[in-house]
Amino acid sequence: KQKVSWLELAPVLAIFGITFGVIGYVYSMYGSTFFLPPGYFDYKWTAEQWREHLDADGRTMLLIGGPHKSGTTILWDAIRQHPELSSFGDSFDTGVSYSEGILMQSVYPKFGIGMEFRRDNANKMEGLGKYALANENLVHWTEDRPEAKQMENLALLMNRFAPFWDNVNATVLVEKSPPNAVISRFLDALYNVNSTSNRPVTKFLFITRHPIANAYSHEKVLLGQVKFNHLLENYIKVHEYMITDMPKLRNKPKLVRLEDFAIKPSETLKSIFEWLGVDSSDEIVHDILYNKLSRPVEHDPNAKYRKIWCQKKINKANEEIKVFQNRLLKLKLGYDMVGWCDGYSFDVDEKSGDEFDEL
């Protein structure tokens, strides 16, 4: 018998090593759920059971949205610490990035989120920084969609989400996905479909961020795949859909700016909890911010991006910036692009705001 040397086995062992290394890394990020078929943990409740459950006991579906890279995750992470709220666990528990519900379900589009680096995605209006630039009928879903009127879709959605809430009987059930900003009317209709209650079960919490900082944060993640002006255009489109839809939602939504949350986290959380109708005591808010969050909220999340922008001395007469500025002012978000550098000091920490780039 011919002996096989270790040298001959080296390529095979290397392949095995790499394979198990990748599997180990993926498991460390997304847990066992990533490797199981979709729906493995699904509940088996009927649509009627979910309708009764949502309408009972003053229960609320809190849906969080806004542009990507605007702080949806850090705000969600703070809110979900409240004892009366139930939210998904982290990515290790859910098997999807940032525990975003949109990536777990099959009722409405995922808009190419998470597929940004696929070769066939380069020329498509999908994924971070450009999904809102697709045709409106593909992006801007409303109550007119037939999918919003089907009870079986409510059951599909709730049965998929239910195993990942730590308490499905909680007063407030939380789901966070940035594109909720462009499909809020659709979700509002679906979660209230065939309800006999005089109280809508849905509430929408939106968060936003200065457009230039938001675009730079996208640019860092996307490695230059999407042009800066397209990132700004996508930001504007997301907000145009969101702002247009807000007055048409069943319950009055709440809009938070990341900058305000960063400067006054206690006041911001307190106002959100009051709006939700849950305990908003100083003790609850203090415990969340200083004992339960893994890291403190940075005071100025935009500092390094403002420094980059201002050092470039972008011409205030730049026609493209003026067009974005005019559209931005119509949104009444309280942001200014043209005057962002007025009175600005360049003495800032280069790492300031890094935690918000992940969110």
Residue pLDDT, tens place only, 294-341 = 778 888 999 999 988 888 766 554 667 888 999 999 999 999 998 888
Calpha distance 250→175 (Å, rounded): 17
CB atoms within 10 A of CB 93: 16
Q: What is the pLDDT of residues 211-237, one digit of tens each?
A: 999 999 999 999 888 999 999 999 999
Tell me which residue of 194, 178, 82, 186 sits closest to 132, measured CA to CA: 178
Q: What is the pLDDT of residues 77-110, one digit of tens each?
A: 999 999 999 999 888 888 888 889 999 999 999 9
DSSP class of residue 249 equals S
pTM of the model: 0.90
Question: How high is the pLDDT of residue 33?
Answer: 83
Tell me which residue of 132, 150, 272 sits closest to 206, measured CA to CA: 272
Task: Give, in degrees to the nearest 5, the angle at Cα 259 between 261 and 304.
Answer: 130
Reported as half-sphere exposure (CB side, CA atoms, 13 A), residue 324 has a value of 24
Question: How high is the pLDDT of residue 351?
Answer: 56
Torsion on CA atoms 302, 303, 304, 309, rounded to nearest 10? 80
Q: Which residues contact 20 (CB under 8 A, 6 or more apart)?
A: none
